[in-house]
Structure 1
């Protein structure tokens, strides 16, 4: 039972990482414009995050320390500060987008403008992080996010032409009317959403919060190899239902209301209610992850006390960083910037900083001083190097493609 409950860390991380507000809309938009031609990107992204999350979880379980803490010690403060600045700024943008996503979900339920909800969401978020136990948060929102499975079921319920969809999935190329630069722009955005830097920092720090030891390597790997593929499956639900409903009509998707519509078409008001609940849980879970990740990264770099295992008064600087990050995110949203557009920019800038995150993890995972005989084997290193090449290619191409395509327009 303990191992079963422990999987919820992976579920929360996967749902918050794969199925946040930006990925919901970008997956839906990719499906509406390209059909299932980006399916391979989701597969590549799932494998990539599994490769590096397994390393991060193993490092934490064996050393009893989070990855970011070891990066500073192993590679020095200069490398770590570059990692810190890049990951913190991307995490802050993500936090703003997730709070906006929660507010958009509440707008769908209430017809009250999302900007009215933003301060209330931020207040509830801060109170939850201040007062509620880590295990309670991950289990409530991780498991509630599973209602997104209604969209996966809707793929079958909508009775699509499966032969045509299979042809799209097996043809990784833009359909007639689209071009290669735009196709690759969406590919990079989807890939970055799968491997956003805060995911591995949250997963690693969460392992410390859950008191993982070397005996918990099995739990860590179950989290990785169940949680992240599940997140990828839920993201595929948005991609596929959008391809089924919107692509044949040549209708683009660029709002949350459009993204959840296929669940309503399949199951009526019940389906719509379930998918909105799932979106709320996923975006609120992602907001918790990014809030905590901002505090984790800063506190671990400076050597402060951190984490929800400690009482707030024992980790006051950690909680102050979390609070300040939430306030900065709210300030960004109150400029009236569109949360969806904000997240699309975040995904591109996330792609740019991916090498700063994943190269140090690969180095630490090969250090016998920390892991002993649990260092990477040849297979893990081969996959790690392959994905390092991929993330570097994505980092180099992201900004030029953003400019060339006008953000995929």
Structure 2
């Protein structure tokens, strides 16, 4: 393989890292496992819908970066004004901060599974290592190493076949009502959470800022689209495989899933100790990758709003405020965990709050993608706009329903 071709192939890891951080982080591991255990594969359609939605808007975000050479949040402030952008900033930052804390906990839990040392003892170590990595390691190294390591979770796909899954049952449940043991409100709660997990705001902020870090231009439009249409569907495939494995192992026994050790159990049952070792590696990779993604996104959004120097390609001493935001965010996330808050529950709540702020993220992207001042001849066509409006309506419905469903169902209990 030539150097140019190799670089293009490795370039896809930005989409892979973004996707696994969005679809298969600590909360999504448990959320998809819970959905599989309680509803079988009846919510699989939500994952597919979420994949299509994030592809629609991530393609717009990537195109905006390639043509304007500016990240999405930078243009949101310019397009909507400082006050409206501040609302978006506060909402997305708080959700990102919650998710960052949960991902730190996820890495610590993966290390606990590998060593049996209490996960809380790992939290300060993980937080310190994350800060050093984000401070010192180059962006392309981060995305390539953790994007590719995260592919270890393909073991869930292998396990789905090793468990002798009844695929006709999977197909038959796609349009089925909730099982007799569940109600429509709980079904709706999990649907909103799974949908929000696919379109979490930090995903597009990270993806578009990563495009700036990699200096995308018009000639990189194909690379951007390959990132979108390979990375995000791959993340969705892994999420579906987790749900399928859980439905095979837990639903018949009517066992609810509440932690990561249960979420990885189907792989151990289907593939034995080797499968368990691989899945623990995958959990470590995706949670650490998601922690990097959320840590960087916290710095990106704040720095871009205030017009500070930012980016991994800039020497830390030249963008000290950007790195300070990252450090403070990591410290807050670690302190949150050390209060013994459950990292899984933190992420589940962050998904619901994420659903509430989704319109503030995706409406501006749709507006910018139609602005010829920024995109010239690369503005949205009729099909892209139709898809964008359709998903924006779905996003609004999810945002309106999120908090009432959280309260009525007691967070899906």
1:305 match: 309
Q: 2:147 aligns with which of 122, 134, 142?
A: 142
Aligned partners of 2:300 and 2:38: how far apart in 1?
Answer: 38
Q: Which residue of 1 aligns with 2:226?
A: 222
**CA offsets, 1:240-261, max 9 Å, x none?**
0000110011111111000000
What's the counterpart of residue 263 of structure 1?
267
Normalization by structure 1: what TM-score? 0.99
Q: Deviations over 1:145-192 (max 9, x none)?
A: 000001111111111222222211232x20111100000000000000
After the TM superposition, which of the residue ranges 153-162 and 291-300 deviates more from structure 2? Answer: 153-162
Match of 1:53 among 45, 49, 58: 58
Q: Secondary structure of 1:90's partner?
A: helix
CA distance in 1, matches of 2:107, 2:7: 30
Distance 2:169 2:372 in 1: 50
CA distance, structure 2, for counterparts of residue 162 and residue 235 of structure 1: 16
Residue 290 of structure 1 corresponds to which residue in structure 2? 294
The 2-side partners of 1:103 and 1:208 are apart by 31
| Structure 1, unaligned runs of 5 or more | none
Say which SS state the counterpart of residue 305 (structure 1) adopts. coil
> Within 1, Cα distance between the matches of 2:96 and 2:219?
31
The answer for the alignment partner of 1:403 in structure 2 is 407
Q: Equivalents in 1 of 2:380, 2:409: separation in Å?
A: 39
Runs of 4+ in 1 over 6 A off after TM superposition: none
Task: Provide the residue aligned with 1:390 in structure 2.
Answer: 394
Partner of 2:3: none
Where do residues 16-95 of structure 1 align in structure 2 (5 Å cutoff)? 16-95=21-100
- 2-side partners of 1:345 and 1:311: how far apart? 36
Q: Is residue 205 of structure 2 the alignment partner of residue 213 of structure 1?
A: no
1:309-353 CA-to-partner distances (Å, cap 9, x unmatched) read: 001001100000000000010111111000001111101000010
- The whole-number CA distance in structure 2 between the counterparts of 1:91 and 1:300 is 15
1:99 positional shift? 0.3
1:235 corresponds, among 235, 239, 244, to 239
1:359-400 Cα offsets, whole Å, 9 max, x none, are: 011111111000001001111101110111111110110010
Task: State the distance in 2 between where 1:251 and 1:397 align.
Answer: 27
1:223-247 superposed Cα distances (whole Å, 9 cap, x missing partner): 0000000000011111000001100
**Structure 2: gaps (5+ residues):** 1-5
- Give the aligned partner of residue 159 of structure 2: 154
Q: Over the residues paired in the alignment, what is the CA RMSD in angstroms?
A: 0.6
Does 2:280 correspond to 1:276? yes
Task: Give 1:203's aligned residue.
Answer: 207
Q: Deviations over 1:183-229 (max 9, x none)?
A: 00000000000000000000000000011001100000000000000
Aligned to 1:5: 10
User: Given the alignment of the two structures, is residue 118 of structure 1 paired with residue 123 of structure 2, yes or no?
Assistant: yes
- Structure 1 distance, partners of 2:355, 2:405, is 12
